[in-house]
Amino acid sequence: MELSPRHRMILKATVDEFIQENRPVGSKTLFDKHDIGLSPASIRTVLKELEDMGYLASRHISGGRIPTERGYRFYVDSLVVVYELTIKEKQRIQEEYLKMQFKLDQILKATASVLASLSNSAGVVLGPAKSLDTLKHVELIHVHGDEVLMIMVMRSGAVLNRSVFLDRNYSQEELYQISKYLNDNAKGYDMFEIQEKVIPSLLLRKDGPLDFYKVSNVLSAAMTPDNSEVSLYIDGLKNLYGRFRDDEEERLNQVLALLDDKRFLTGMFGEYSEHDGVYTVIGKDGDGLMGGVSIITSGYRMGEKRIGAMGIIGPQRMDYHRALPLVDFTSKLVSEMITRISK
């Protein structure tokens, strides 16, 4: 059944009131506090219709109504007025990043903190797969005989060491020439791009030192990243304790259990890292464990490449008007910074 303008108006007022006060909403409250233009009796009729359609529920026969997951879903998709962040809010976010040394892990850790503090919920950031970390500098150092230490400094600040064995004993000068050629041509690319595009292209160009072509396969194999573990940054757990009433302990425990489930978070946020825009996952939209929980998430980029996702987790009774633009603005700002440091 299509919701009429009257249904929409009262559903929005009911959800707004419940988010603000965290208690069931009755017709008298809507009549007294919201400019609806209907009598209390007419409001009660509409509330009953919305309950029959599954948008609202009542905990007690004589009590007020609370939004259902279906009600929240319609509210977020069709009724929320997304506010513009104030200049002060934007400055506060930007100032947090000015404290950083512009290393990837520091930026992502700060992002979880920013999202948590400004949303009064939990902030979660899914770091990029290690294969998406870009190369800043590579150095080949002779160890002994045909053994060489390959040191790769990444834009994230990570330093990767690989021991490789070449076809013969190369001098340090020969290794320096190979390193210089790689730095001139592979810097700024991620490991996958270096293996699949850069090195094959260099092999076709044939403009590098002859020794490079003899060892290219070994060096390419040594650049295979370990994607077995993706970094998760979580902040704001303490915020959640003040967001639930005493009789909502079960829901609080559900949120805390989700935040402790790294596989769930990696899968959930990983799914949305591939998409543009801001998404809201409400309750069982995402998983049976998410009753009473909402997630607002958005991906972030390095240049044109989508590399991770971020967002906030909290009760369904969250301020969507401000949470949505907060996640949107922060994801765009982080994308700009990561793109800058990757060059």
User: DSSP per residue over 332-343, as a string?
Assistant: HHHHHHHHHHT-
Mean pLDDT of 36-42: 91
pLDDT at 152: 92
Question: CA 81, CA 248: separation in Å to the nearest integer?
Answer: 28
* Burial of 88 (C-beta count, 10 Å sphere; 0-12/13-18/19+): exposed
Q: Residue 296: beta bridge partners?
A: 280, 312
CB 155 within 8 A of CB 135: yes
The model's pTM: 0.77
Alpha carbons within 13 angstroms on the beta-carbon side of residue 300 total: 29
pLDDT at 325: 95
% of the chain surpassing 90 pLDDT:
52
Residue predicted with more confidence, 172 or 248: 172
DSSP 123-164: EEEEPPPGGGPBEEEEEEEEEETTEEEEEEEETTS-EEEEEE
pLDDT at 12: 95
pLDDT at 210: 92
Mean pLDDT of 41-66: 89
Residues listed for the chain: 343
Q: Is residue 247 scored above 70 in pLDDT? A: no
pLDDT at 24: 92
* pLDDT tens per residue across span 134-185: 888 999 999 999 999 999 988 777 788 999 999 999 999 999 999 999 999 9
Cα of 19 vs its chain's centroid, Å? 24
* pLDDT tens per residue across span 249-274: 777 887 888 788 888 888 888 888 88
The CATH class given to the 5-79 domain equals mainly alpha
CB 110 within 8 A of CB 127: no
Where are the domains positioned within the chain?
5-79, 87-129+230-342, 134-223
Instruction: Give backbone dihedrals phi and psi of 46, rounded to 5 degrees, phi first.
Output: -65, -40
Please give the radius of gyration of the chain, using alpha carbons only, rounded to the nearest integer.
26
Q: Residue 26: beta bridge partners?
A: none
Q: Is residue 285 scored above 60 in pLDDT? A: no
Q: Is residue 61 scored above 70 in pLDDT? A: no
Q: Dihedral through CA 158, CA 163, CA 168, CA 172, nearest 10?
A: 40
% of the chain surpassing 70 pLDDT:
93
Mean pLDDT of 50-65: 86
pLDDT at 101: 59
Range in 106-110, 112-116, 326-330 the model is least confident about: 106-110
Give the CATH fold of the 87-129+230-342 domain: Beta-Lactamase (3.30.450)
Give the pLDDT band of residue 317 (cuts 50, 70, 90).
Answer: confident
pLDDT at 175: 94
Give the CATH fold of the 134-223 domain: Enolase-like; domain 1 (3.30.390)
